[in-house]
Amino acid sequence: MGLKVELKPGERLILGECLVTNGTQRTRLLIEGQAPILREKDIMLPAQADTPAKRIYLAVQLMYTARDPRNHHDAYFSLMRDLVQAAPSAWPHMVAVGNHILAGDMYKALKSAKALIAHEKELLDHATRGANLRRGRQQDRKSA
């Protein structure tokens, strides 16, 4: 059973080592076989990867699309070590990513990496909110 993909006009897709760009109409594709497939919305470009978890996603994505994923293992583990030390609560997500990679299921690994990004966002939002609260408090004091 292949993978069904529906593309909007102009939407792009990575298929193996090629970039597929849809024409002006909606297209339905049925893809069979083992090549890596990445939809435009799932693609993370280096410029977009500006947080620790997003960089992990990028590393997993590179492993997925590379001929030899081993080249990216070092970067992956150094990023993982950074993150697990900074935010131990992300641990379960990181285990999920690792287990999927181990099982060779890179698409699921990417999905788990997405969950990791969501978790990180929560923590980061929390931190920025905390900073705003503190700022708000000082303003409050000034106005009083």
Partner 1 sequence: MSDIVLSPGVRANLLQLQQTSDLINRTQNRLSAGKRVNSALDNPINFFTAQGLSVRANDLNALLDSMSSGISTIQAANNGISAITKLVQSAQALVSQARQTADTGVLATLSSQFDDIRTQIDQLSADSGFNGINLLGGNDLTITLNEDASSTIVVGSYTDTTAGDLAITAAANNWAVTTDIDTAASELSAALVTLRSQSQALSSNLTTVQVRQDFTKAMINTLTVGADNLTLADSNEEGANLLALQTRQQLSTTALSLAAQADQNVLRLFR
Q: Does 80 bind partner 1 (CB under 8 A)?
A: yes
Q: Report strand pairing: 3-7 vs 27-31.
A: antiparallel
Q: Does 106 bind partner 1 (CB under 8 A)?
A: no
Among 8, 26, 39, 81, binds partner 1 (CB under 8 A): 81
- In the bound state with partner 1, the residue whose beta carbon lies nearer, of 28 and 67, is 67
Q: Does 71 bind partner 1 (CB under 8 A)?
A: yes
Using alpha carbons, select from 100, 105, 121, 101 the residue that is nearest to residue 54. 121
The region of 3-11, 24-32, 80-88, 110-118 touching partner 1 under the rule CB under 8 A is: 80-88
For residue 106, what are its two tokens? Answer: 């890179």
Q: Is the dihedral of CA 41, 46, 50, 51 positive or negative?
A: positive
